[in-house]
Amino acid sequence: MKQSATLAMQLAEAARIVAGVAAGRSLAEAMDRLREDSRAALIDLTHGTLRRYGRVQAIVANLSRRGRPDALVEALLWTALYALESGRYAEHTVVDEAVKAGGLIEHWPAKGYINGLMRSFLRQREALEAQLAAEPEAHYQHPQWWIDLLRGAYPADWQSVLAAGNDHPPMALRVNRRRIDADAYRARLTAENIAAHRHGSEGLLLEHPLPVDRLPGFAAGEVSVQDIGAQRAAHCLDLASGQRVLDACAAPGGKTAHMLELADVAMTALDIDAARAARIDATLDRLGLRAEILHADALQPPQWWDGRPFDRILADVPCSASGIARRRPDIKWLRRANDVARFAGQQRNLLAALWRVLAPGGKLLYATCSIFPGENEAVVAAFVASENTARQLPLPDGARAQWLPDAEHDGFYYALIQKQA
């Protein structure tokens, strides 16, 4: 059990972060500013709260007898309820530390209210469960429009998809085959008492997540952290040595690196965000790989393209990120229903722009980390129907195009499109 002496401070800081998300700010930006000594505890409190956001919101709304509280006090109650239900702390400890946190966020008059609501939850927990089960957003812990989309798209699987979106994500590794064999690396993990099993030709799925500094050979570039679903991309592009390859929207460089690990290709990695593009170089440097890295907008080829067509293009397009919501739990609550159509418009524009730089006979892999059909098969079908040189091919790995999130991987969609000569 963690030391309760620091819990009040952690709850106060987590409340500030969660309140920011509730106001529309990105969780990732807040995480980047955290000190290393507090990072793990705050990731647990913030991510855990946001995974259960629909539930903790409903609990506070049901128990509050004086209307909706101040936004920061409300966020503190959400984080304290998550901490209480996490089982990591004694119940009385959470209540006491939540009250102290009320002072730390300078809402001293609310300390009695915080104490009363937390104790009311402990007394009324069983009765509350029946109420929460009848409220879809509280029960499934996703926005109603998200629930409705998944129910319509996956009538047999929507509940399991929602459940996966609330769970802790798996941790998968990709072995750098230029440096070490996957079986040999697994043996190194076993020697370090790190349990893992093989998944695909380079993949290893850890039984329990752990910090990267505990991974043998990580600093030496023997291995990277990459979801099993994301590892499909490089294998679906039909790569061969000597090809000219473009990774559009490439940051932070995981898929770029994987392609370079598989084949001796001439790689161009492109990203519109300068800070994120810089991360590609760091990723490749650790792995002993090289590529031409460009900070540019994929929608504007005249600004960056040298006129030589690419044999292969990975179009890992911006999307709702609905397939990785458990890794970015703020996504569920920051997105809006009309975002799906907005992203689809951007995706169609990117496809059209990148098609111009693909060689005749070349192949483009359309990729998203979305599970919404409106961003996936609908976009691809419309593009193929409108472009007479486009032909959709079966995926080389033989698996279905849409992977839904489960215990082993996140949700990803892939479509391979060839440009007819």
What are the catalytic residues? 369
| CA quadruple 135, 139, 142, 144: dihedral sign | negative
CB-CB contact of 378 with 344 (8 Å): yes
Side chain identity at residue 93, one-letter code? T
Q: Which residues contact 131 (CB under 8 A, 6 or more apart)?
A: 58, 62
- Residues 121, 130: Cα–Cα separation, whole Å: 13
Give the Cα separation of 171 and 93 in Å (integer): 31
Residues 6+ apart with CB under 8 A from 40: none
Query: Distance (Å, rounded) from C-alpha 254 to C-alpha 258?
Result: 6
What are φ and ψ of residue 393, in 5° steps? -110, 155
* Secondary structure (H, E, C), the chain: CCCHHHHHHHHHHHHHHHHHHHCCCCHHHHHHCCCHHHHHHHHHHHHHHHHCHHHHHHHHHHHCCCCCCCHHHHHHHHHHHHHHHHCCCCHHHHHHHHHHHHHHCCCHHHHHHHHHHHHHHHHHHHHHHHHHHCCHHHHHCCCHHHHHHHHHHCCCCHHHHHHHHCCCCCCEEEECCCCCCHHHHHHHHHHCCCCEEEECCCEEEECCCCCHHHCCCCCCCCEEECCCCCCHHHHCCCCCCCCEEEEECCCCCHHHHHHHHHCCCEEEEEECCHHHHHHHHHHHHHHCCCCEEEECCCCCHHHCCCCCCEEEEEEECCCCCHHHCCCCCCHHHHCCCCHHHHHHHHHHHHHHHHHCCEEEEEEEEEEECCCCHHHCHHHHHHHHHHCCCEEEECCCCCCCCEECCCCCCCCEEEEEEEECC
